Amino acid sequence: MSDNKFYRLGCDIGGTFTDFVLLNDETGEMRINKCLTTPSDPSDAVEQGIRELEEKTPDIVGKLDEVIHGTTLVINSIIERKGAKTGLITTRGFRDVLELGREIRYAPYDIFAEFPKPLVPRRFRLEVDERIRSDGTVIKALDPGEARKIVTQLLEIGVESISVCLLNSFENPAHELIIKEIIQELAPDISLSISYEVLPQIREYERTSTTVTNESFSSCFQAAESLRLRRPRNFLSGSLSQGRQRPLSRASTTGSSLISRKCSVSTWEGLPQSPA
């Protein structure tokens, strides 16, 4: 905290309301504000709320040391299934991981219980014939020609983004990286996520579902980020750029903060968390 900057602002953009918490680090005083979210451009509500706070506490913008924001807009989109049409490339034999899950019945006595439909329909889930052991050694090498055909097939059926999750790639990402290069070559403008970069951890269902979620809603998240931050960032830039510059940050699922540009890589890290 610098000598003349002692306010911190938390902003939470929800589907109905946008909430604000302003903390004075010197006195511990806290002020709150709430205004209606503006769905067409969430940055309208952010700017409006900050201006309303400034009416009650003059010159807070010039004394802001940090701004952290969060949103529920993207997790609302997940619930409403408003993501992009996403394709999945996986190891042969693992096409149905998203539907098999952990084979846990959350309603064991309900014979009519239905699981939620996977984010990627089966026709958009394709396999490549490769295999890597749990220690990272290669049993069957990836055929780049086959991978190229699979990518082309997904593009021909109209996917808007592609996720790649291969068996044991968290130990050896070589095959995922090859597929990534092929996708970037054949469709340089398409959005893509590989599990090694999103969640390089053991357990196939968790890694696959996280990678697919990350990719299905990355465009939605980035659009929300762009709309939400464009004008508030300009509005606050004079204050935040004076003296010791601190980036506009975003709350993560762990309660920590992320620099906004980080979220363009890991959408899932910023899904449900709200600081306000």
What confidence tens digit (pLDDT) does each residue in 35-79 have? 999 888 888 898 899 999 999 888 888 888 888 888 888 888 888
Tokens of 31: 């002020």
**Percentage of the chain surpassing pLDDT 70?**
78
Query: Could you tell me whether strands 191-194 and 131-132 are parallel, antiparallel, or unpaired per DSSP bridges?
Result: unpaired
Tokens of 130: 């490769």
The band of 230, judged by pLDDT with boundaries at 50, 70 and 90, is low
Cβ burial, residue 256 (10 Å; 0-12/13-18/19+):
exposed
Listed residue (252, 98, 136, 266) closest to 198, CA to CA? 266
What are the residue ranges spanned by the domains of the chain? Answer: 7-77+219-270, 94-214
What confidence tens digit (pLDDT) does each residue in 119-129 have? 999 999 999 99
pTM for this structure?
0.79
263: pLDDT strictly greater than 60:
no
Listed residue (139, 144, 212, 146) closest to 172, CA to CA? 139
According to the model, what pLDDT value does residue 218 have? 79
Half-sphere exposure for 13 (CA within 13 Å, toward CB):
32
According to the model, what pLDDT value does residue 128 have? 98
In this structure, CATH architecture of domain 7-77+219-270: 2-Layer Sandwich (3.30)
216: pLDDT strictly greater than 80:
yes
pLDDT, greater one: 219 or 17: 17
276: pLDDT strictly greater than 50:
no
The band of 32, judged by pLDDT with boundaries at 50, 70 and 90, is very high
Q: What is the mean pLDDT of the chain?
A: 84
What confidence tens digit (pLDDT) does each residue in 69-115 have? 888 888 888 888 888 999 999 999 999 999 988 877 778 888 888 88
